[in-house]
């Protein structure tokens, strides 16, 4: 894929079909799946201006080629919100063309406009291609994540 001018902008209701394709590809990358109910809830939250979850799409012309989701939340170490980059996915045919970088830079701008004190994210240790980009755009911390999944 050769990219023209990539534009990053908020996702809209009209983007659902392409978004869903990338959302499912993202989930497969992380060897997981979610119910249709969760996928619909995620999409609804992205579009709901009363929920602090936001979605961005990278467009090559009119074609969606990447997505990013962020969550704004308060924290105990600052008086302003944090911006958590929860999901980032770029079409496999469009990788290496600067689309991931464009999405992250849009998230940085968004976080600044919303007076956030930081943008942070996590990725798998073996996600080497993504980490190559991330090492250029942010610093890796020494934080180790622990998780206890709770029954619903």
pLDDT band, very low/low/confident/very high, at 91 (cuts 50, 70, 90): very high
By the 8 A CB rule, do 2 and 58 touch? Answer: no
Q: What is the pLDDT of residues 119-147, one digit of tens each?
A: 999 999 999 999 999 999 999 999 888 88
Residue 150's φ and ψ, nearest 5 degrees, are: -105, 145
Strands (E), 19-124: 53-60, 63-73, 82-90, 119-120
What percentage of residues in the chain have a pLDDT greater than 70?
97
Residue 151's φ and ψ, nearest 5 degrees, are: -70, 145
Sheet holding 119-120, edge to edge: 6-10, 53-60, 63-73, 82-90, 119-120
Give mean pLDDT, residues 18-44. 97
What percentage of residues in the chain have a pLDDT greater than 90?
91
Is 118's pLDDT higher than 70? yes
Q: What is the pLDDT of residues 33-78, one digit of tens each?
A: 999 999 999 999 999 999 999 999 999 999 999 999 999 999 999 9
**What integer best gives the mean pLDDT of the chain?**
95
Give the pLDDT of residue 73: 98
CA nearest to 40, candidates 15, 12, 20: 20
Give the pLDDT of residue 2: 55
CA–CA dist 4, 106 (Å, integer): 18
Is 3's pLDDT higher than 60? no
By the 8 A CB rule, do 18 and 62 touch? Answer: no
Is 1's pLDDT higher than 80? no
By the 8 A CB rule, do 9 and 57 touch? Answer: yes
């Amino acid at each position: 894929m050769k990219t023209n001018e990539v534009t990053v902008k908020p996702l809209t209701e009209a983007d659902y079909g392409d978004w869903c394709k990338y959302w499912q590809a993202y989930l497969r990358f992380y060897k997981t799946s979610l119910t249709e109910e969760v996928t619909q809830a995620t999409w609804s939250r992205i579009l709901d201006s009363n929920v602090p979850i936001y979605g961005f799409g990278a467009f090559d012309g009119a074609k969606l080629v990447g997505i990013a989701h962020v969550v704004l939340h308060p924290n105990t170490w600052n008086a302003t919100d944090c911006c958590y980059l929860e999901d980032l996915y770029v079409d496999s045919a469009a990788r290496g063309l600067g689309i991931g970088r464009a999405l992250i830079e849009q998230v940085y701008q968004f976080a600044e406009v919303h007076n956030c004190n930081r943008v942070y994210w996590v990725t798998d240790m073996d996600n080497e291609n993504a980490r190559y980009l991330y090492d250029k755009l942010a610093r890796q911390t020494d934080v180790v994540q622990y998780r206890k999944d709770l029954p619903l």
